[in-house]
Each structure stands twice: as structure tokens, then as C-alpha cells.
Amino acid sequence: MSGFTQAINTTFGRFDLRSLLDVLIIALIFYWLLVVLRGTTAMALLRGIVIIFLLAFLLSNLFELTMVSWILRNSFPAILVAIPILFQPELRRTLERIGRTGIRGWLGGSAMDNTINMAARACANLAERRHGALIVLQRGTGLQDYVEAGVQIDAVVSSQLLESIFYPNSALHDGAVIIRGDRIIAASCFLPLSENPSVDYRWGTRHRAAIGITELTDAIAIVVSEETGNISVAHNGRVISRLDETRLRHVLTNLYGAQEPETPGQRHDRHRETPRVER
């Protein structure tokens, strides 16, 4: 015990302001990496690498496996070289975004406000022309599986681009557009339809898909009906209908300001609820 105490005293006795700065820089790098990879297939790859190394580390210490310990000690330099290669697409997109918008834009800034404004304006114009649309705004839960099944775009959100995607003769007008932050990341994405038997039978495929994706994730879905021109927002398996541009912008702003994490049990219970139409 005295040796352990001495080791702690030695470690913290050398801990000064420079050491604190070192720890903060490393913590920020790891946090930045997690933010960049969140919701992507690379995140699953990173989790797999971490799990394998943790298991190998525990086994090598538990059973005193000399060879495994040697491999672990000597593999870290190779991992540092491999990280930029494995995660090159995600890192490139983030660096490009920092170059375009600066650090404030990467941290968030007014990016979400711009996305809400562009989406609201596009939906109002589409509703006026009776062009159907389904727009999904990603929040905490990753939607990468649906992105990969659609046509990947990776373009800055604009009302003109959204309107052109949902133009009836466009090759991408079928399916949903998925937006992450201030970028349209995919179009023509097919979403799971709600299996809730209480869903209004008058609602078509777009509304059922909007309810379905919000039952399974914390995303927000905007639907423009091509039959009536009505604009609706689905969230948490519920629907807010008959929105104009101003009210749509207000609803989206409130929903983004009220994000709360859900447990799997809460999401399962919500999936069985009757979709509520708020007017």
C-alpha cells in the first residue's frame, strides 16, 4: 500500500499547469474525433477497435501474456498512422467545413438556424405548387444506414436545392432527403413505414415513413402533401399538421431547443402509442 501511495504522490506531485494543458488538449482531440464520427459507419469501426484493444489489454494483464503485451505496446504508432487513413472521408469533410465557415461554424453557430430557415422556405414553396416532399433532420441518433441506401449528396442546405430535388420530374424526388447539421447528405432515401395500427388510414406513404423514422429515432421529419399542400412535422411518433412557413420555423426551432435523450424502453413505449395530430 505504501508503494501505491508513493506512486500517486509522485504522479500528482509532478502535475502542474503544463500537465493540465496536455490533458485538456488530448481530451479535446478525442472529443472532436467522436463528434466527427458520430452517426457514421466509421464510429462502429472505432468501437470495434477499442473493444478489441481493451479485451487484449485485460487478457494480457490477467494471464501475463508476454507476446500480446509486446504487440499492444508496439502497435500504437501504427494506429496513429492508420487513423487518418481509416477515417479519411469524415476528417476531410470536417476540415473542409472548418475552412469554409471557421471554428464558429464547426462548433455550431447559426448553422442550425440557417437549416431551419432554408427547410421552412422550401416547404412553403413546395406546398404552394403541390409538390410532395419528405425531409428528415437528423439529431442525436445516427441515420447512416438510411443514408447509405440512398443517393449521397453532401451539399450545403439551400431552399433552391431542396425544391429542385422534389420537383416531380427529378430523378431524386422519390424517397426522403436527410439533413445533418447544415448539409444535405443524401436524397432518395427509403425509410421504414410505421407499423402502428392507429395511424390514420388517410395518410399516405410519406406520412407513414415520417412517423416510422421518428418512432425509431429522435429525428424530425417534415412532410409536404402533394394532394392537399399541407405541411406537417413528425416527431416522437406524433404529427403536427397544417403549418405555414412561420409556424413551421417556430415548431422546428422549439423541437431543436428541447432535445432530450431517450432510453430504449421509452422509445419502445412511444412506438406503440397512437400518433397524435396537433393542430
**Please, what are the domains in the chain?**
2-93 (no CATH), 110-278 (3.40.1700.10)
Least confident of 55-64, 207-216, 236-245, 264-273: 264-273
Cell readout for 259 is 432535445
- pLDDT higher than 90, residue 117: yes
Which pLDDT score is estimated for 264? 40
More confident residue, 98 or 2: 98
277 band by pLDDT with thresholds 50, 70 and 90: very low
Query: Measured between alpha carbons, how far is 175 from 266 in angstroms, rounded to an integer?
Result: 28
Which pLDDT score is estimated for 14? 66
Taking the mean position of all CA atoms in its chain, how far away is CA 153?
Answer: 16
Place of cell 481509416: 86
Whole-model pTM? 0.59
Give residue-wise pLDDT tens across range 28-76.
Answer: 887 877 766 665 566 777 778 888 888 888 888 888 888 888 888 888 7
193 band by pLDDT with thresholds 50, 70 and 90: very high
Q: What is the mean pLDDT of residues 171-185?
A: 92
Which pLDDT score is estimated for 12? 57
Which pLDDT score is estimated for 273? 45
- pLDDT higher than 60, residue 245: yes
More confident residue, 267 or 92: 92
- pLDDT higher than 50, residue 165: yes
Residues pairing with 183 in the sheet = 156, 180
251 band by pLDDT with thresholds 50, 70 and 90: very high
Query: Measured between alpha carbons, how far is 4 from 65 in angstroms, rounded to an integer?
Result: 24
Least confident of 11-20, 114-123, 165-174, 246-255: 11-20
Highest mean pLDDT among 65-69, 112-116, 156-160: 156-160
Listed residue (226, 220, 234, 218) closest to 278, CA to CA: 234
What strand order describes the sheet that includes 220-224?
A: 151-156, 183-189, 176-180, 133-137, 220-224, 231-235, 238-240, 277-278
Query: Measured between alpha carbons, how far is 101 from 106 in angstroms, rounded to an integer?
Result: 7
Q: What is the mean pLDDT of residues 251-279?
A: 53
* Inter-residue contact 163 to 128 (CB < 8 Å): no
184 band by pLDDT with thresholds 50, 70 and 90: very high
Cell readout for 98 is 472548418
Residues pairing with 223 in the sheet = 134, 232
* Inter-residue contact 207 to 228 (CB < 8 Å): no
